[in-house]
Amino acid sequence: MIQVHGLSKSFGQSADGVQVLRDVDFEVRDDEFVSILGPSGCGKTTLLRIIAGLVDHDTGSVRVEGREVSGPGPDRAVVFQQFSLLPWMTVSENIGFGLRLRGVARSEWSRRAHELTQLVGLRGFEGHYPRQLSGGMQQRVGLARALAVDPAILLMDEPFAALDEQTRFLMQEELLRIWQEARKTVVFVTHSMEEALILSDRILLLSGRPGRVKEYLDVPFGRPRSRSIAASAEFQRLREHLWEQLRQDQADEPEAVAS
């Protein structure tokens, strides 16, 4: 379980500082898929990086399974928007890179990489280099690399934002399939209301800067789930509700400085 209590974060000093997050409180249950949604500049990415242990917070606390987060840890893995693959390594080598850093024997990380190439739909591409892959395929490698170290928690920062619409839709379906099999706790940052509704168990809606918890919305659609739910009246109702909440914040929001 992830527990965030009274979390606040500012960048800069004194009068020149900008408060990005203020008194944020929420919990993410084990194996739950939670999306963080909010207007540009409300601190979504900053919040994710704090949970990952990549950014310090000013006040409040972040706990994972009851332990205070003080830095990165093996229980959490991050999938970024940028693919960040090592261009001189093959698909298998990129997937197994984190295991190699931990001293895992080649036979073991190679076996694990082979399993994951199949899980993410890249069978037959184990020996390819990133330059030989499409954007969607590269993002699959990034997801497999995160899964390779077997974290309890996946932290995903707009991983599909750079993809074209068709590829993004396919990756959403793939992520649902992989999550159903791997059953990880997922915290997923997105700007897309539709993406949040399709993927999530709950949606954490942040207000405009400084980001505060405006609503924690239960998503009522069952699982397994596909994009076909987007045609339902309930989906459209929830999308309209989220848009109204976001529009209220966007109307008076100054130029964003952090996402």
Query: 134, exposed or middle or buried, with CB in 10 Å at 0-12, 13-18, 19+?
Result: exposed
Is residue 257 predicted with pLDDT exceeding 50? no
Domains and CATH numbers, the chain: 1-50+57-64+188-259 (3.40.50.300)
The reported pLDDT for the residue numbered 192 is 93
Q: pLDDT tens digits, residue range 86-126?
A: 999 999 999 999 888 888 888 888 999 998 998 888 889 99
Question: Contact, 144 vs 85, CB < 8 A?
Answer: no
151 preceded by a cis bond (ω within 30 of 0): no
The reported pLDDT for the residue numbered 23 is 95
Packing angle of the helix pair 165-182, 106-119 (nearest 10 deg):
120
pLDDT band at 253 (very low <50, low <70, confident <90, very high): low
Report the distance separating Cα 2 and Cα 79, nearest Å: 18
Q: Please list, in sequence order, all residues whose beta carbon lies within 8 angstroms of the beta carbon of residue 179, skipping any fewer than 6 positions away.
A: 33, 186
Q: pLDDT tens digits, residue range 157-186?
A: 998 888 888 888 888 888 888 888 888 999
Q: pLDDT tens digits, residue range 56-80?
A: 999 999 999 989 998 998 899 998 8
The reported pLDDT for the residue numbered 256 is 44
Report the distance separating Cα 194 and Cα 40, nearest Å: 16
The reported pLDDT for the residue numbered 136 is 87
Report the distance separating Cα 10 and Cα 89, nearest Å: 38
Q: Identify which of 88, 85, 71, 68 has the alpha carbon closest to the alpha carbon of residue 122.
A: 85
Q: pLDDT tens digits, residue range 127-142?
A: 999 999 998 899 889 8
The CB-based long-range contact list for 246-251 (8 Å cut-off, 24+ gap) reads 246/37, 246/38, 246/39, 246/193, 246/205, 249/38, 249/39, 249/42, 249/207, 249/208, 249/214, 250/39, 250/208
Report the distance separating Cα 250 and Cα 244, nearest Å: 10
The reported pLDDT for the residue numbered 40 is 86
Report the distance separating Cα 231 and Cα 223, nearest Å: 16
Which of 36-72 are b and which e, b meaning 16 or more Cβ less than 10 Å from the residue's Cβ?
A: bbbbbbbbbbbbbbbbbbeeebeebebebeeeebeee
Residue linked to tokens 């693959």: 85
The reported pLDDT for the residue numbered 149 is 87
Q: pLDDT tens digits, residue range 182-221?
A: 889 999 999 999 999 999 999 999 998 899 999 999 999 9
pLDDT band at 84 (very low <50, low <70, confident <90, very high): confident
Q: pLDDT tens digits, residue range 14-30?
A: 666 788 999 999 999 99
Task: Please work out, in degrees rounded to the nearest 5, the angle formed at the alpha carbon of residue 141 by the alpha carbons of 138 and 147.
Answer: 150
Report the distance separating Cα 90 and Cα 70, nearest Å: 33
- Which of the two residues, 183 and 52, has the higher pLDDT score? 52
Is residue 8 predicted with pLDDT exceeding 90? yes
Q: List alpha helices for 14-164, DSSP H.
A: 44-52, 91-95, 97-101, 106-119, 135-148
Question: Contact, 93 vs 143, CB < 8 A?
Answer: no
Question: Contact, 190 vs 36, CB < 8 A?
Answer: yes
pTM of the model: 0.88
